[in-house]
Structure 1
Amino acid sequence: MSSYDADFSGGVRVAVTAAPITPLDVLCATGTSYFGSPPVPYVPGVQGVGTRPDGTPVWFATDAGMRPGDGSMAEYANVPEADIVELPPGADPALVAALGLSAVAAWQSLTSCGDLRRGEQVLILGGGGIVGQAAIQIARLLGARRVVTACRSARAQARAAELGADAVVPLLDDDTVPDLAARLRVALDGPLDLVLDPLFGIPAAAALQVLHPGGRLVNLGGSAAPTAPIDSATLRSGSLRILGYTNNSLTKPERAETLRTIAAHAAAGRLSVSYEAVPLSEAPAAWTAQSSGAATSRQVLLPR
């Protein structure tokens, strides 16, 4: 995870200005993703922000850890033209890097997958994570009537409130489905229409208990548990819908359009997430913090 010299033929030589360390990077590097163990040595980093040779600011994606080739955690990256997205003037590189594909997932989960409509009430599970932080603000931008979130740590709960959540429900280590569902009911004001769920497990099962008939739950992760205690009667009695989302379902033009929208909101001060800017020289410590779960915000490497 340092500067490197490479053959830049066949791609655009991007000078990296910010590279986030994401959970996917850790999964790829440890060989625990469904892509298997990557050929080594390689430079990690599935996304980043930088500048073209002419100075144009861009966001870019890489296949580092998924296919042979190096990623964004370096001073330069070789990037295919199709994986580059030009950024609007005034977009902060570190913030755009911190938002990145997590914010894309939040936006698309709420819109194309979850079909959020103006005036609906939304529940964001895991509101302290990057996806959750982005989703709270995006739901507001898209006209949600009320945004409720559920978070585990006191820091995450405070951050969610700062970002505009109308109510914040604590997630407890000894939660049962009935107990958490009861707390969620108290926090809601009227029908709950849509749940954004990067957690699964007990939080997802409890959220289904309080969904309005015909409501939707969009799952885009399983950080709480890989399975959930969901019963058939709850689904059938409410005609509920459980939808799965992954960024892998997006075309590159769809991803680019969403990234540009997110970057424009960030540049205008309407969208932000918590992150820690770290010099590339301190990448090993930042990587350890991310991989061990000790990091309290997204780690973003600044190579330049």
Structure 2
Amino acid sequence: MTIVIAGSTGLVGSAITRALIGRGESVIGINRKVVDLLDRKATFEFINAAKPDLVIDAAAIVGGIGANNNFPVDFLSKNIQIQSNLMDAAHAANVERFVFLGSSCIYPRDCAQPIKEEYLMTGPLEQTNSAYAVAKIAGIELIRSYRKQFNRKWISLMPTNMYGPNDNFDLASSHVLPALINRFVTSTVNSDQVVTLWGTGSPKREFLHVDDLATAALIAAEKYDDGLQINVGTGEDLSIFDLATLISQLSGYKGKIEWDSSKPDGTPRKVLDVTKMKNLGWAPAISLEVGISSTIEWFKDNSMAKR
């Protein structure tokens, strides 16, 4: 079987690529150096030449609250273009299976917890990342439309917050967990006495190691066939305050943590109902402490070493 991974060098794509290679599969990776997925003609030509049996779309313009707030057009327009170009190209090449990877930010800001797949579009979105969320909702709808109009066996996965090797640790554009790793590891090296963090620390979030997502994606590609998106997560959450405390301890940071309540918190709580995914025989294997520890070491050996 030939499998195309879009976004193959990113956090998610690289993890799925590692998992597939470990299984002996033939993998063709797409990154910006291989083909620009914003270029519709080039995308069609690439997919047609590759003739894959399965396409996994892990390509996206992503970032944290600051990046989403500053570049909403990029997060909305470019992500919609990437998704539609890739799906349309896969359809033209008669690709049998397609897995679209979205994000749990698609769900309403004040959703009942834990969040079931059926809660999509039942209330207003969190405004700090609404452009990105709308793009991902459009991707889900395009998957459903291809299933309805052309009977494609294509699916959508909605992962919770992910972390691990090859994450984006840039403070201006990263998500909360890698940003905290950067802050605390750097502050430990610099012997900083105080680290000031955004918000109050009260919001609660769920985190999944990207290698666990990779196994989930491959299981879903084999076993799941429904137009309803399927959640992937641990089903457990913790406060940003507790997350910061854990990362500071694992980083060896000895200073003080202060919170800037003038900065936004984002969604108050977000934890996914992962019953459907677990019913396929999947369960996360990497604990948060073990996963964060290994990610800190990866950051030290890679991102910090390049400074």
TM over 0.5: no
**Structure number with higher strand proportion:** 1
Question: Higher helix fraction: Structure 1 or Structure 2?
Answer: 2
Length-normalised TM-score, structure 2: 0.34
